[in-house]
A and B are shown apart, each in its own frame.
Chain A
Amino acid sequence: MAIKFAVILGFLLFTLGFFGLLARRNMITILLSLELLFAAAGINFVAFSNLHQNFEGQIFTIFLIVVAAGEAAIGIGLLIALFKVKKSANVDSANSLRG
């Protein structure tokens, strides 16, 4: 029963993060929504690690956090680069490639 709670919670977080990723205009909020997607994956890893009684899921969660840290560093770099060029954190302002 506990595993089902974790799967549903992970799925809810994934859905919310997906919506934030598609609907928001501020790049910081988009990156925060991306963190919600990472958290959803982490919840599933830990819950199934608990179900199967081994440590692989927890180790994968640690690597997931490593990847999230790298993603945050690159994302903030891109955010500052966008802000330097367009003087705004709005992703709609990055439309130079629009035909």
Chain B
Amino acid sequence: MIVFVVLVSVLIVFFSIMVVSLKHPISSAVSLLIAFLLLAIFYLLYGAEFVAAVQVLIYAGGIMVLYLMGVMFTDSEWIKITRQTHLQAWLALFLVLVFFGYFGHKLYHSQYPAPAVKRTEISIAKKSETEKKLPYLQRETNPRSVSVALFKDYIYPFEIASVLLTVAVVGGVFLAKKEV
């Protein structure tokens, strides 16, 4: 398993370098798409099946299409004739390297022990009559556990997230539509 983790991590880092270094935004967007699909595999390896599915459906399927539409709406002529980095890129590279060195050293030398106290288990809803008849529903799967936790313990954040998405969609349409 650790071989897969290392392989997927190396590929994710490679495609992320492609995202920040390629010239054309379409190339960057497709590299990010591949990186997100690999990230879904990474989530699967860490036991988060539902998050992996959401990553493929929402991120790779929805958000990346939105970005590709954004590339379509803007011209790409100036990309061919001008350079793609700021004058401040060297300063940014220096700052990022300092950041990388300091925090990388800190992170590499920290310990991550599992907590001694067992956390409270998320309560699972009582099994209904249908589930008793159908034994495959009784298996404790990751999407089931996540959805039970999401709809029992985190129901208010879930509803607030829907309000946030509505506001974001209305704001995005307003910004793009406004006559200036």
Residues of A within 8 A of B (CB): 1-9, 11-13, 15-20, 22-29, 31-33, 35-36, 39, 42-43, 46-59, 61-63, 65-81, 83-85, 87-90, 92
Beyond A9-B42, A24-B84, A74-B171, 4 additional contacts (C-beta under 8 Å) are A18-B96, A18-B99, A23-B89, A58-B50
Nearest Cβ in chain B — how far from A4, in angstroms?
7
Alpha-carbon gap, A5 to B174, bound state (A): 42
Alpha-carbon gap, A11 to B17, bound state (A): 13
A54-B119, A72-B66, A89-B74 known; A5 vs B89 contact (CB < 8 Å): no
3 shortest interchain CB distances as A-B pairs: A77-B175, A70-B168, A20-B20
A13-B12, A17-B20, A70-B164 known; A84 vs B86 contact (CB < 8 Å): no
- In this complex, the interface size class of chain B, counting residues with CB under 8 Å from chain A, is 35 or more
Check B25–A32 contact: CB distance below 8 A.
yes
Check B99–A6 contact: CB distance below 8 A.
no
Check B54–A65 contact: CB distance below 8 A.
yes
Nearest Cβ in chain A — how far from B98, in angstroms?
11
Check A8–B100 contact: CB distance below 8 A.
no
Residues of B within 8 A of A (CB): 1-2, 5-6, 9, 12-13, 16-17, 19-20, 25, 28-29, 32, 35-36, 39, 42-43, 46-48, 50-51, 54-55, 58-59, 62-63, 66-67, 69-71, 73-75, 78-79, 82-86, 88-89, 92-93, 95-96, 99-100, 103-104, 107-108, 112, 114-115, 119, 121-122, 142, 145-146, 149-150, 154, 157, 161, 164-165, 167-169, 171-176, 178, 180
Residues of B within 8 A of A25 (CB): 82-86
Check A39–B35 contact: CB distance below 8 A.
yes
Residues of B within 8 A of A48 (CB): 112
Residues of B within 8 A of A29 (CB): 19-20, 25, 28, 84
Check A69–B62 contact: CB distance below 8 A.
yes
Indicate which residue in B20, B59, B84, B121 contacts A33 across the interface (CB closer than 8 Å): B20
Nearest Cβ in chain B — how far from A34, in angstroms?
11
Check B86–A5 contact: CB distance below 8 A.
no
Check B66–A73 contact: CB distance below 8 A.
yes
Residues of B within 8 A of A83 (CB): 73-75
Check B108–A22 contact: CB distance below 8 A.
no
Nearest Cβ in chain A — how far from B1, in angstroms?
8
Residue of B nearest to A67 (CB): B164
Residues of B within 8 A of A68 (CB): 59, 63
